[in-house]
Amino acid sequence: MQVERVKKLTHPSQVPKPVRAIAVTGGKGGIGKSSISINLALSLIATGKRVLLMDADLGLANIDVMLGLDARFDISHVLSGERTLDEVLLQGPNGLQIVPASSGISRMAALSQAEQAGLIHAFSELTDVPDVFIVDTAAGIGPGVCSFCAATQEVVIVLTEDPAAITDAYAQIKLLWREYGLKDFHILTNMVPSAYAGRELFDKLERVAARYLQVNLNYFGGVPYDQMMRNASLRQGTATQQFPNSPSALAFRQLAQTVNNWPWREGESAARLEFFLERVLRSNQRFVG
């Protein structure tokens, strides 16, 4: 398989702009991670940001299904040289751009140097460079999930009141800290009955982490349990679009404002989209090596 170089679409003198890369992840499935990624992306767009959402659940792509979109091509076609990254992008609601996943890219850790260079080049030559790049990872603590988390500037751990979700979130944070050196995490509580319950859930995780791990947990915020969010999902839509005054939509608007207020950490102000992929591949090589 060979990745072809993509025709340059931007002006040579154009200076690549910084891109905020955010991984939305969680140790357990069924916690609403993908729904959070989509609604957060649309809420950021509402603040004037251009957002690219990557479905990084390599074995079970679902972002396109959740939005009722038809993904004829995906990132595996970029790897094969059949399509450019621009050509595989799905156009979602309100200008949201989506990189659809495929089970065919689970071999990313085994890419040749030429394939790696071609894929990085494809990201660097993206026509419409976003302000925010959201990566919706798979659930669990597999090497692919950890590599995506290690490549981003911000890691959002989704947490619910399910005891298994709390245990798995702690396990994921522990692994990312010990094996990948990550220390800073944003904790987002989902489907909580009240703001107080969300904060209490975060405090429970923080107490355990403070005792055994040398990490910094930041309370990102909480998304309440909202039947409107489920109703929108059943219609292959989103609460932020179909029910903009619902409790969950209001929560996502607040989360988007919080993201916009996150400071750039030292050394990250020059982050570029292609750097993200370089770090993903480097993390994969580190794991298999």
Instruction: Point out the least confidently predicted range of 65-74, 174-183, 206-215, 278-287.
Output: 278-287
Q: State pTM to two decimals.
A: 0.88
Q: What is the pLDDT of residue 220?
A: 98
Cα–Cα–Cα angle for 90, 259, 170, nearest 5°?
95
The percent of residues in the chain predicted with pLDDT above 90, rounded, is 54
To the nearest whole number, what is the mean pLDDT of the chain? 86
Return the SS3 of 147: helix
Q: What is the pLDDT of residue 173?
A: 97
Q: What is the pLDDT of residue 2?
A: 42
Higher pLDDT, 142 or 185: 185
Residue pair 33/25 in contact (Cβ under 8 Å)? The answer is yes
C-alpha 34 chain-centroid distance: 9
Asked whether residue 1 carries a pLDDT value surpassing 50, the answer given is: no
Residue 265 DSSP class = P
Rounded CA-CA distance 121/123 in Å is 5
Rounded CA-CA distance 124/23 in Å is 19
CA distances from 101 to 54, 77, 150, 157 (A): 7, 10, 19, 21
Mean pLDDT on 195-209? 96
CA distances from 256 to 156, 201, 260 (A): 13, 21, 6
Rounded CA-CA distance 87/97 in Å is 11
Give the model's confidence band at 251: pLDDT under 50 very low, under 70 low, under 90 confident, else very high: very high
Mean pLDDT on 131-138? 93
CATH architecture of the domain with range 20-288: 3-Layer(aba) Sandwich (3.40)
Asked whether residue 16 carries a pLDDT value surpassing 90, the answer given is: no
**Residue 240 amino acid letter:** T
Q: Which of 10-14, 169-173, 230-234 is modeled with the greatest confidence?
A: 169-173
Phi-psi region for residue 236, left (φ > 0), alpha (ψ -120 to 50) or beta? Answer: left
